Amino acid sequence: MNTDAQLRFNCRKRCLPADGRLDDHWRGQQRKRRGVRVLVPDCFLVPPPEAKSADFDMWYYIRSIPDMWDNGLRLLKGWVRASKDVPQDPSDLTCLTKNNDVKPGRVLAAGNWKVDDPVKVALKAAAPPPPRREKVKPYWKYLHEETRHNDKSLGEIDARVALLEKTLEEQRRVALLEKTLEEQRRVALLEKTLEEQRRVALLEKTLEEQRTLAEPPKEDLSQFFVPLTAEDEKEVQDCLYGNGSSSKVLVLHEPSNIEVSREKFRCLRPHGWLNDEVINLYLELLKERGMREPKRFLKCHFFNTFFYKKLACGKTGYDYKSVKRWTTSRKLGYELIECDKIFVPVHQNVHWCLAIINMKAKTVQYLDSLGGDDFRVYEMLARYIVDEVKDKSNKEIDISSWTKESIDCIPLQENG
């Protein structure tokens, strides 16, 4: 060893006196040691709180206790001599205490161990064992176990899903079959309906052809509507809008002794109110036309505007006796029941209608320019026909099969 190295060694070397005491200048801190935060077992001295600090030195702690100065030094030296190898784990040190019948303060080290730092070993040996941490199961293992646990449930669910899918497929197939059957029924019904319509159309066409063949050809009536000449138009305009006395008689019908004055004739102007004398005169003209050409027209009878008023009077609203003598064969020259049609003007307060007893078609018809209908007129005229046939021919007539018809294909008035 050279001189410099020997000087450095001697500077760091400490020589103990014979009595084992150190001078005051040797009581300084030798070096800093890294502290180990452990507890001292019962076989050692209980360390102070400063022992947990990194600057704590066990040597000076033992030397600071007066009663334990020698024993502490001797104890420390014994640790150094008895230790050769450093144990890998503090639990490898076997500590004997009072309970083992060993003198307190003595420490035995098993094996050929070397203790580099007795303080660290003591503190580490005295430290309580670290809390045992429960071994946490890996999450993947937990998931794997859960999956294996649910394998049975998954199998049941798969079976149920397969069963439901099969059931759903069956239901779809049944629904498709029902839909197909419904379509077939609907098509069959449509075909049947179409066939019925075709058959009805063919039948109607056949009936129309038969009706056309049975009916006589329609007569050309254009000859009865000869246009008026200029002189006739002037005379008509004078009667309707000309000046003069309103009481002046313009028309005199000698067979019926009906007079039509200018005032009554003006009711034929647009939006005028019809007068009964004008209606009666027109019906007399129709009667004369039928008598002139009986083979050309149907045999008809025309009641005047007073007939229905007489028939509908009385306590019960029906009085056949008041019109019983109106239709004697002596007056008419023919029997009423022999006529094809009987025309009856009906006065409804301020409105005129027309009823027709069609003896040939066994129908009672009603014409109203306001589009109305009156069932009382049907009943009244049907009852009249029964009484008339019984009175004039002493026969009973059944009218239960007769029909009542309201004619609607007629011109309608706008000032109703």
pLDDT category at 122 given cuts 50, 70, 90 is low
Contact predicate 279/318, CB 8 Å: no
How far apart CA 221 and CA 154 sit, in angstroms, is: 97
Among the listed residues 373, 354, 352, 361, the one whose alpha carbon sits nearest the alpha carbon of residue 416:
352
Phi, psi at residue 346, to the nearest 5°? -125, 125
How far apart CA 84 and CA 116 sit, in angstroms, is: 8
pLDDT value at residue 37: 42
For residue 143, the tally of other CB atoms under 10 A from its CB is 10
Phi-psi region of 253 (alpha: psi -120 to 50; beta: other; left: phi over 0): beta
The residue ranking higher by pLDDT, 105 or 318, is: 318
Is residue 84 over pLDDT 70? no
pLDDT value at residue 251: 80
pLDDT value at residue 253: 78
pLDDT value at residue 66: 56
How far apart CA 157 and CA 163 sit, in angstroms, is: 10
pLDDT value at residue 23: 52
The arithmetic mean of pLDDT across residues 140-155, rounded, is 75
For residue 370, the tally of other CB atoms under 10 A from its CB is 12
Q: Which two tokens stand for residue 158?
A: 């798969």
3-class SS string, 286-304: HHHHHHHCCCCCCCEEECC
Where helices occur in 293-394 by DSSP H, the ranges are 307-311, 329-332, 375-393
Q: May I ask the CATH architecture of the domain 299-416?
A: 3-Layer(aba) Sandwich (3.40)
CA atoms within 13 A on the CB side of 126: 22
pLDDT category at 285 given cuts 50, 70, 90 is confident
Domain ranges of the chain: 26-126, 148-211, 231-297, 299-416
Among the listed residues 405, 403, 351, 398, the one whose alpha carbon sits nearest the alpha carbon of residue 373:
405
How far apart CA 366 and CA 371 sit, in angstroms, is: 10
How far apart CA 205 and CA 224 sit, in angstroms, is: 33
pLDDT, one tens digit per residue, over 32-45 is: 444 444 444 444 45
343 - beta bridge partners?
Answer: 302, 356
pTM of the model: 0.47
